[in-house]
Amino acid sequence: MKTLKEISSWVGTFGIAIVLSLIIGVFVIQPYRVDGHSMDPTLQDQERIYVSKISHTLSKLPEYGDIVVIDSRVNRDRYLTDDLLEHPLLQLFMDNNTNDNKVFYVKRVLGKPGDVLEFKEHKTYRNGVALDEPYLNETMNFVSDRQWTVPEGHIFVMGDNRNHSSDSREIGYIPLDHVMGIKKFP
C-alpha cells in the first residue's frame, strides 16, 4: 500500500512537470536552433536561442529590428494544436519532427502594417528612408523596382545575411500568428 502511494505521488509529480513544461513552452518561452547562415553575422548556424512567446500568445506586433522566429508556411492557418504539437517535448515522441522540416526561420523585422519597403541602390528603404543597418556585413546585391506594402496583420522580415536569405522577398508577408516569438535571450 505504501509503495503504491509513493508511485502514485511520483506519477502525479511527473505529470504536473510535463503539463507545466507544455504551458511554459507554448505560452512563455521556447528554445529554437538557428539552421543555416541567413542571420550571419548576428547569429551563427546551429546557435541555440530562446524566444519569448508572450507576443505570440497575446498577438502583439514586434518592434522594428526585433529578431523573430517565424513559421514560413504563410499560406496555411495556424492553430493552438500547432503550438502544442511543435513543442520540443512532444516532438520527442513524434515521427515527423516539425523542427527538422525547416519551417521555422529566424529573421529580423523590417516592416510593419502599412509600411512601404523598397530595395534600391543596394539598400533597404522603409517609407522612403534608407535604413541604417549596422548588423549587415556586406552590401546587399538585391535591387527591385517593386514596392512592398505590408498588409494589416502582417510583418515583413529579412535575414541579416541578405544575399543568402529566404525571407519575405521570397515567401511573402508573415501573418502575426506565424510569429512564434521574439528573441529576448542569448
Q: How confident is the model over 24-52, as pLDDT tens digits?
A: 888 899 889 999 999 999 999 999 999 99
Catalytic residue among 72, 107, 165, 168: 107
Helix (H) or strand (E) holding 124: strand 123-126
Catalytic residue among 38, 55, 72, 168: 38
Match 492557418 to its residue by C-alpha cell: 77
Domain 2-185: top CATH class: mainly beta
107 among known catalytic residues: yes
Which pLDDT value is given to residue 58? 85
38 among known catalytic residues: yes
What are the Cα distances from residue 54, in Å, to 6, 67, 73, 100, 149?
Answer: 37, 14, 21, 24, 26
Using DSSP, state whether 101 is helix, strand or coil: helix
Which pLDDT value is given to residue 2? 81
Q: Which residues of the chain have pLDDT under 70?
A: 95-101, 186
Helix (H) or strand (E) holding 106: strand 104-111
